[in-house]
Amino acid sequence: MSNLIKKQTIMEQKSTSVWKSALTSGVYLGIVFILTSVVFYVMGNPFSKVNQYLMYPIMIVGIALAQISYKKSLGGEITYGQAFGVGLLAMIFASVISGIYTYLLYEVIDPSLQEQLRIFTEEEIMKNGIPEEQLEMAVNMSAKFQKPIIMFVMAIFGGAFMGAIISLITAIFTKKNPIDEVPE
């Protein structure tokens, strides 16, 4: 009888929604992305390389925490596929939230950032030693990708891509396969 109760408890724990868990983790991760961006914006350096490099450890920790949280909600056991799935979904949700913020920042809050980004990009391209005749073409090409709506879409796809790569790796460490019980 105790095995029946134990199996019923395990089944109740495993009915936890991956969507709800990923959404919760994704919202928290998205808020951290926004806060980090706001800090660099307020400091007057919204295009900082430090900000870009800081995002990678934040993503890794955020995805790992999403996987661990979901594992706890499942009773301490999670397959590789489940860990990968919740990590990827959390990162997609975080990317949507962060993308919305980026769109609002460049389109509503501070439209002058578009011009500042264009100037920053031009300076970075010139630092790389591109010949003058290719400079205009490179700046025009990058300007096409610096429109707020394009940045929003790229944030989602870029976040999903990075989320997939990071989730593939972190799932190795967070998985704990269910143990097949031998009936008594």
pLDDT cut 90: percent of the chain above it? 61
Q: For residues 113 and 29, which has the higher predicted lDDT (pLDDT)?
A: 29
Does the structure show a pLDDT above 60 at 103? yes
Does the structure show a pLDDT above 90 at 109? yes
Question: Angle CA(43)–CA(118)–CA(46) in degrees, nearest 5?
Answer: 15
pLDDT tens per residue, range 4-55: 445 454 445 455 789 999 999 999 999 999 999 999 999 998 988 899 899 9
Burial of 145 from C-beta contacts in 10 A (0-12 / 13-18 / 19+): exposed
Write down the residue that tokens 């509503």 correspond to.
Answer: 108
Q: What is the CA radius of gyration of the chain?
A: 21
State the virtual CA torsion across 99, 115, 144, 122 in degrees, nearest 10: -120
